[in-house]
Chain A
Amino acid sequence: MTVALYRIDDRLIHGQVVVGWGQPLDCTFIVLVDDEVRSSEWEQDLYRMGVPPHIEVVFASVDEAAERLPAWEAEPRVGILLVGDIDTAAALAARSARVKRLNVGGIHHRAGRTERLRFVYLTDAEAAKLRQLAATGVEVTAQDVPTARPVPLGEFT
């Protein structure tokens, strides 16, 4: 057992994560890596709402996450690690070689982004960052829910 899913999802903790992935993985802890949320008690309370009591939610900065990843990976429990954007994922991967795979779960439309998949919109620069991550040995795929096909990076960037 370990961190079973490293996910980029701009909604962070939401139904697709808690129910869609959490149930089949039998997940009992979620690590939310976000410097801004880590510094806001109120935002943390907000993200704890709706998470069933048997799932622990851990809030970490990028630096804290890099330091604690070995312990989370050694957990007897199954966990999910979430980041809200590609920059945070890249920052974490740069600080820890333990990030070996990334699930692009939800990056939604904003000005400058184009649709790559129904649930993935990227600027050209963001697509390039994902390819750079892959070039360092991180396996990057896109998959919103477990029942969907993991889409290889080459098919959406």
Chain B
Amino acid sequence: MSEPLRGVIVSHAAIAQALVSAVSVITGIDGALTPVSNEGCDNDALGERLRAAVGSAPAVLFVDLPGGSCLTNSIRYAKQHADVAVVTGVNLAMLLDFVFHRDVPAAEAARRAADAGGKAIRVTAA
């Protein structure tokens, strides 16, 4: 692939920015993830923020909830761009895996990230 995948985190309030910071602190990798907040946006404005964040690179959009304005606008965007995939329920574990595996097509990276994120959700022994 000519250009590595970009990850765009689409969230309510400041969750996206906090996740980007956490990934940077843990891995030392900067620039792989871009935060987008829906704060103060109607649907058109959020779509515009997504366009600016994704640019021309293939991308995975990591959305916080499996419904609502972050998801509906991400899916609208992905529908118009074949090299963009959407994952819901973003968590830190899936992002940590993603930044080290960006040399695959967006759909494959999205499946891998969802798997990594799901495996991180556990009920631990006391």
Contact = CB atoms under 8 A, between A and B. Distances in A.
A73 interface: no
B18 to A, nearest CB: 18
Contacts of B38: 11
A46 B75 contact: yes
B82 to A, nearest CB: 16
Contacts, number: 49
Interface string A108-145: 11100000000000000000000000000000000000
Q: Count chain A CB atoms within 10 A of each CB in B38, B42, B66, B75 and give the residue with the most.
A: B42
Contact of A18 (B41, B42, B43, B68): B68
B65 interface: yes
A47 B75 CA distance: 11
B33 to A, nearest CB: 22
- What bracket does the count of chain B residues touching chain A fall in? 10 to 19
A36 to B, nearest CB: 11
A82 interface: no
A95 interface: no
Contacts of A46: 72, 75-76
Residues of A contacting B: mostly: loop
B72 A15 contact: no
Contacts of A109: 40, 42, 45
A18 B67 contact: yes
A109 B67 CA distance: 22
Given A15-B67, A109-B45, A110-B45, A47 B72 contact: yes
A109 B42 CA distance: 7
Contact of B42 (A10, A15, A50, A51): A10
Contacts of A110: 42, 44-45
B69 A14 contact: yes
Interface in A3-35: 10-15, 18
A49 interface: yes
Nearest to A107: B42
B69 A108 contact: no
Interface of B: 12, 38, 40-45, 65-69, 71-72, 75-76
8 contacts: A11-B69, A12-B43, A13-B68, A15-B69, A50-B67, A106-B42, A107-B42, A108-B42
Nearest 9 A/B pairs, CB to CB: A50-B67, A10-B42, A14-B68, A108-B42, A11-B69, A14-B69, A15-B68, A46-B72, A49-B67
